[in-house]
Amino acid sequence: RLALLGLAVLAIISGGGLAFAALGNGQTPVNVFWALGSLLGINLILLISWLLGLVFAGEHSASLGRLWLWLSDKFARDTKAAQLAPALLLVLQRQKLNRWALGTLVNGLWLLAMLSALTLMLLLMATRRYGFVWETTILSADVFVSATRALGVVPGWLGFSGPTEAMIRASTDTAYSSEAVRQAWAVWLVGVLVVYGVLPRLLLAAFCRWRWIRGRNALRLDLTLPGYSQLRERLMPSSERLGVNDVAPEQLHNVHAGQTDLDTEGALIVAIELDDQHPWPPKLPTTIKDAGILDSRESRQKLLEQMTRFPPARLAIACDPRRSPDRGSLALIGELAR
């Protein structure tokens, strides 16, 4: 966040510098085409290069993206924070989302710079008196008339009027510039900056943001990569040493046959936590009933309730001697024997 804040401040200052360089201090007339080149030249060149890189280079790395990584490393408070930005870009690159993330960053910062330039230019025009001229040595006036009209077509659709042909031809010398001519050139310059500077960056930033949000919602980590196998074992180990949960009692359960006043009948056989390697139940005569395998709390409670209502005359309990006996199994055997 500190890196993004630093880039935003840099974009605002740069945009203000572009506007001040284009208009100057008002002591000398403003060459409209030099001012236009100062405001839009670098922006349009970098915009075209970004579009070409997006189409042909694919997974390119923008200069502002590298600057963001450098600032993130400088502003990081510890080593872990410094590794977050490169790790994030690596994950996004695997999912082909880095182009949209960096596109949102690049176009958003340029949009901020263009808005800063537009704001400062309006403030300068509102507080200073500027005269606008065009100059040439080898070109004719018709070239500048055609260029001015061509650049003003799209801004004219949005309500930004431009100078007439007579105004354009009369703007070779500020001595012939009236108040209407200066205002016409000012509106034309603002309209050209909005249409060719602000709107393209706004649309591209919105488009990249939409693609970024769409891809981020569908982002899934590929856990089959080698790097995640070690991380998975650390975060979700296959085995874990728990230690002793309960301290062993001084005396274990003593199993004694219980007495009941109810009528007992038949025999019952039950197994405790047998695995699939042992076939169950064995072949039994019709006088012996099978109570199944007790492998859950619900099955144990259900059998105890049935034996309370219908106690068998004899009970056989099967268990695996290879398994370590625990106090829970001993307690269950004691409950069944009562």
Length of the chain: 338
- 104-142 per-position pLDDT tens digit: 888 898 999 999 999 999 998 888 888 888 888 888 888
Alpha helices per DSSP H over 152-223: 153-157, 165-170, 179-193, 199-217
Domain assignment of residue 328, yes or no: yes
- 171-216 per-position pLDDT tens digit: 776 555 678 888 888 899 999 999 999 999 999 999 989 988 888 7
Domain assignment of residue 131, yes or no: yes
Our measurement of the distance from residue 134's CA atom to the centroid of its chain's CA atoms, rounded to an integer in Å, reads 48
What is the residue range of 308's domain? 267-337
Can you give the pLDDT at residue 328? 72
pTM for this predicted structure: 0.58
Domain assignment of residue 260, yes or no: no
Q: Which of 199, 224, 249 is the last residue of a domain?
A: 224
- Same-domain check for residues 219 and 292: no
- Same-domain check for residues 65 and 196: yes
- 261-292 per-position pLDDT tens digit: 444 567 888 888 777 777 777 787 877 888 88
- Same-domain check for residues 146 and 209: yes
* No. of helices (H) and no. of strands (E), the chain: 13, 5
Reported confidence tier of residue 102, pLDDT bands at 50, 70, 90: confident
Both tokens assigned to 238: 């296959």
- Same-domain check for residues 164 and 297: no
- 24-54 per-position pLDDT tens digit: 877 788 888 888 888 888 888 888 887 887 7
- Same-domain check for residues 68 and 149: yes
- Same-domain check for residues 159 and 280: no
Three-state DSSP at 253 gives: coil
Can you give the pLDDT at residue 145? 86
Number of domains observed in the structure of the chain = 2
Reported confidence tier of residue 60, pLDDT bands at 50, 70, 90: very low
How many CA atoms, within 13 angstroms, populate the side-chain half-sphere of residue 289?
A: 13
Average pLDDT, the chain: 77
